[in-house]
Amino acid sequence: MRKFSDRYGRDVLQNSPHPQRPKSVETAAVPGLVVEDVQTGFCGAVVDCDKHGVTLEDRHGARRAFPLGAGFWVDGKPVALVRPAQAAPVKPSRTASGSRTVDGHRARVARESRIYVEGKHDAELVERIWGDDLRVEGVVVEGLGGADDLADIIREFSPGPGRRLGVLLDHLVDGSKETRIAQQARSGAGTGAQHVLIVGHPYVDVWQAVRPSVLGIEAWPDVPRGVPWKEGVLEAIGWSEEPPAAWRRILASVRTYTDLEPAFLGRVEELIDFVTQPGVDQAH
């Protein structure tokens, strides 16, 4: 077979006097990166970047948006701007209650000991902040549905060694109905009294355990006697929701223990310590 020589060589540009155009290097459009748009000459720092493009701001404060991709210069070199990689979410090292997170821990089998609170809202607020801790400790929180039958509830629970009962009551202040109920329940607990702890917070309703500033109000309003408390509060602060919807709004605003009042925090922590004391419950 006859061979032919290639007088142009393998690369037609190999011996060209004109150098090849440098390739654009992909560069993340991170905030603060100074970029020049080749076509318009606009030069500025990256102030925003999303899937739609990148926004630059020049030294005079003027902003312009450009599509991502090639067509930019950084330090005199061509670049193709791309969205910065999203950082992996940082796993919290603390629970909402401020306790250190226990990695890889399965929920413990429930203890025989229990914590009782007055109602559904109380239980939901405790779960919101201490839920992770309670699952680690194997503590169940239940609602009383009201404190009027507390003495009978305690007798039915049959507290004793390895079966402790902690009770959290609303409005436990001198002269209140709840204080009288607590005193009667303690006296009626008999030999199991040492295995029962009844504590309470000073608030008329557990709503007040949430710091007002969390909800954007200066203080929880005083409600005149004879006016339903929740309805009176909602009217005073100008919320149009019915109480169930208002509570969902309040609960959703609570993120960590710092959003709650100390008088509530301390009582819940006291109850958790009481029912989880070493040696009190041998269930695993």
Q: 174, exposed or middle or buried, with CB in 10 Å at 0-12, 13-18, 19+?
A: exposed
**Domain boundaries of the chain, sorted by first residue:** 25-82, 114-210+254-275
Chain segment 129-171, per-residue pLDDT in tens: 999 889 888 999 998 887 888 999 998 999 998 899 999 999 9
Domain 114-210+254-275 fold: Rossmann fold (3.40.50)
Mean residue pLDDT of the chain comes to 84
Chain segment 245-254, per-residue pLDDT in tens: 999 999 999 9
What residue type is 83 in one-letter code? R
Domain 25-82 fold: SH3 type barrels. (2.30.30)
Q: What is the pLDDT of residue 264?
A: 96
Chain segment 201-224, per-residue pLDDT in tens: 999 999 999 999 999 999 999 999
Of these ranges, 85-94, 96-105, 112-121, the one predicted with the greatest mean pLDDT is 112-121
Q: Is residue 279's pLDDT more than 60? A: no
Q: Is residue 39's pLDDT more than 80? A: yes
Q: What is the pLDDT of residue 7?
A: 39
